[in-house]
Structure 1
Amino acid sequence: MQKKYEILIVDDVSENIKIAINILKNEGYNFSYALNGKQAIEILKTKRFDLILLDIMMPGIDGFTLCKMIKNTPAIKDTPIIFVTAKIDVESIEKGFNLGAVDYVTKPFHPAELRVRVKNHLELYNYQKELRKNNHKLTDEIQEVKTQHFSDIEEAQKEIIYILSSILESDSNETACHVKRVASIARQLAILEGHLSPQEIDTVFLAAPLHDIGKIFIDNDILHKPSKLEPSEFEIIKEHPMHALHLLKHSKHDLIKAAKIIAYQHHENYDGSGYPQGLKGNNIHIFGRIVAIADVLDALTHKRVYKEEWSFERAAEFIMKNKGIKFDPRLVTLFRDNLESFKEIIEVEECH
């Protein structure tokens, strides 16, 4: 079914409106009219048009002023305006085009000219609307594809993180599942922290498994030595945050950037006595401060070749005793006030 175009005719002489309608009535258009600018404004508040035929010389609000008002109204600014007027001097024509009119038709009307100009501009306006509609549709489709693409990338990043983490785990049964528990503890602490967005909380959870990824470059004889490390061996162990930095530093993805921060800073101490940079207080990224507690809590409560497991209560006491020394005092307070939730992660969460 062919579209019925809506045309608004604005002219202070009713006879001119009748003439225009008579010339165009057989084209199948719907007409509305106004005898002055004020009436036109009221009509435009409630109805949309495909074309406006606008007289210039009207009392009160003249055609130029009305045209400017229309073009400054976002909802109707794209509506094509044809000035219909006996005022055909160059300055008036130039002013009308500058205000946004698409054409001029002189009075008295030449029927064939009016029909053709109206028809051409209605079709052009309709094509433009269809083009905008298709552009919006195409943009939505592209955005949907991009969203899916980025979702796939994010899933791939998560999978890579767990693959890399499993490489670290595979070297020792004693550290199996450690990274997953650290991630869960870190997420719980990030939630309690209260200032992190849901996205940041999710990032901490997903990036935390890579906190010790730098250890893949450390000799296993040192990593899993059953006795106390020599000072020189401990210095080698302390190199693993730097190895992680070199491994992850070139990534432009937020998730890997977060993993780099965590891996590089989770051995920094709140009082500045940690390594590798000796950062102090809030100069340590919040992600690093969170994972520092998560890593120590899980390490203490699970058996290693060089130590027996501690009870949760003993490990919690160690963390609270190091409030403001090794660990962020505010995070330690949150940990202390929510001990049961962390104990549940340690005692209940298993690796499958």
Structure 2
Amino acid sequence: MNILPLKGQHHVSAITANAKENLHFYTEILGMRLVKKTVNQDDTSVYHLFYADERGNPGTDLTFFEIPHAGTTYEGTNSISLTSLRVADDNALDYWVNRLEEHDVKHEGVTEESGRKTLAFRDFEGQRLQFVSDEHNQGVAGGKPWDKSPVPVEHGVVGLGPVRLTVSRPDITAKVLVDVMGFSEVRSYTEETSSQTIRVFETGEGGTGGEIHLLERNDLQRERPGRGSVHHVAFRVENQDELNKWVEHISASGLPNSGFVERYYFRSLYFREPNGILFELATDGPGFEGDESFDTLGENLALPPYLENQREQIEATIKPLHTKKG
């Protein structure tokens, strides 16, 4: 079966216990656009918020499920342990040092990682994040920051960068990445803080928007997720026809999986690799403008058509979250 390579990161989905503060941090401090305010389709009692570039282009979405009673994250192995956000160049990192300090956001200063300048920081719940410079990037193209953001367009987030997986048995994750998902192992580097080797895998056009970084830590307990942890990482598939091929391919590989899942804004397939990390494959379209115009993205509670008959119940259950502009 001839399957097109995965095109890079599609989105990363994480957990927050406070949608209001989450909205403030990612829109008012990080300057990302809320492109969709909807609910978790598997549990409609909680919000699912999508932050991205100006229109939620695939590869730019950082999303959050609000779980109000989510406990503390106990960081450890077999986890998605770092999410990168791409910015245009090294100058943008200098801007972000100042902006983070203005908003009392702790950071680790600008360093170099695998030939790129980076700036590690955490959100208000301890979400592990870093900015990565695209100064010398060649590979998957970034998106376009929203021109109504509080952050100048030239310094705005243009998409998701490398995603780090920390695992106890790296070879079995690497085997899935290479033999099943079609990634190539391209290089390695040493992490400054731990002196551990990180292996780099890339797909599609590669570069910051097409890399997974794999870190071995067998000296840690398995991570206990909570607020500030990552739920899953998704990778880009061209269209539904290609996704159907991936459903067959993943099933033939012997990995238990969800089969085809309709998400309305994209179509998906979910499976776990042997260390327990949840992967999703998601189509580039249809996108976020099927039920809202470009100008009003994220302003209202959006529900896919198959949940519209539950709107009254859903709106009565979830806490109001003010997202209208003006």
**TM class by shorter-chain length?**
under 0.3
TM-score by length of 1: 0.24
Q: Which has the higher strand share?
A: 2
- Structure whose alpha-carbon radius of gyration is higher: 1
TM-score by length of 2: 0.26
Q: Which has the higher helix share?
A: 1
